Amino acid sequence: MALLKTVSELAAIVGGEVVGDGRVVIMDVAPLSEASSGEISFAADKKSVNVASDGSASALLVKEKSEALSAFSLILVSDPKAAFAELIGLFRPSEAFEPGISEGAVVHDGATVSPGATVMALAAVEDGAVIGEGVILYPGVYIGRRARIGDASVLHPNVTVMDGSVIGTGVIIHANTSIGSDGFGYISGPEGHTKVPQRGIVRIEDDVEIGACVTVDRATVGETVIGKGSKLDNHIQIAHNVKIGAHSIIVDHVAIAGSTTIGQGVVIGGQAGVVGHLNIGDGAVIAAGAGVTSDVAPGEVVGGFPSIPQMKWLRIQPVYRKLPELKKQVSSLEKRLAMLEEKLLAEKD
């Protein structure tokens, strides 16, 4: 049965103030451009207010009253996006699973699985692994020997957690991600490449979320670390012995080479690359597509390849577009200068 809430009831839930008719009944949330009667959305800025004014939502979460939205029931909140996220959880809660080990799962006798954990069919848990309370292992998940999965963590289909890896509490790992695969380490010689044994582990701290198809390599020795509360998007490569500080955000298709240290609260934009053995300071921002080849100071914002201060990089961009014309102008000036020099020499003679 669908959940029904009045606007006034929703305002009480999100700590907001009702403007308009609080008796309007809401049955679902929806994107701003798609919301219709019986649904609530949010407008966080002037641009979205203009979109909302032409829409059919029954109610809106907004920061302040607006004449353009006088026909709607409004809930005034300090952060409409955060309030909307809360209502998503209310109207569309996560699916609940019964705890227990499926008959189709393979759990070694030497593993420890909490009674409150859910291990679905086709999941495998190896000897010495420890699965905490409230953990959910979807089908196809592999937990290696002596790996530890903290309470309330969720591992989606086909996640691989290799031997010795440590996952904290409240961690979410999305489908097809590999935790603890071997680092890319070789010694090259005249007869080829000799593999360096990779005997360290991966440690993922509490409240981390990792997207789909991410690879986090185990350390050669020691630990590869993803710090508390950090969020990683899809298709990211974290190489061996990388250390990522707490509450950092890394967007899709980023690659971080071995033994680099990322500070706390760092933001790395999509498709950026960071070479190995660097230090990226706390609060630094690396723009999308950047190639980082040297250390980045705390709080610094860099972009481009090789990376330089972002504002300087942005000033350089218009010049790049004009390079063909500038080349022609320089060539023309060189020819004219050569002609003038010949003329002056002829006059001296």
**CA 331 – CA 189 distance, rounded (Å):** 47
Collect all residues with Cβ–Cβ distance below 8 Å to 196 and sequence separation of at least 6.
183, 185, 186, 187, 220
Q: Distances from the Cα of 322 to the Cαs of 306, 318, 319, 327, in angstroms?
A: 20, 7, 5, 9
Annotated catalytic, 235?
no
Parallel, antiparallel or unpaired: strands 73-76 and 17-19: antiparallel
Active-site residue, selected from the candidate residues 108, 240, 247, 253: 240
Residue matched to tokens 């508390």: 228
Collect all residues with Cβ–Cβ distance below 8 Å to 47 and sequence separation of at least 6.
none
- Classify 270 as helix, strand or coil: coil
Strand partners, 26: 5
Q: Distances from the Cα of 107 to the Cαs of 164, 171, 246, 279, 286, in angstroms?
A: 16, 21, 33, 41, 43
| Beta sheet of 273-274, edge-to-edge order | 106-107, 124-125, 142-143, 160-161, 178-181, 215-217, 237-238, 255-256, 273-274, 291-292
For residue 182, give the DSSP letter.
P
Contact 3, 91 (CB under 8 A): yes
**CA 53 – CA 69 distance, rounded (Å):** 6
Cβ neighbours, 10 Å, residue 340: 10
- Residues with a known catalytic role: 240
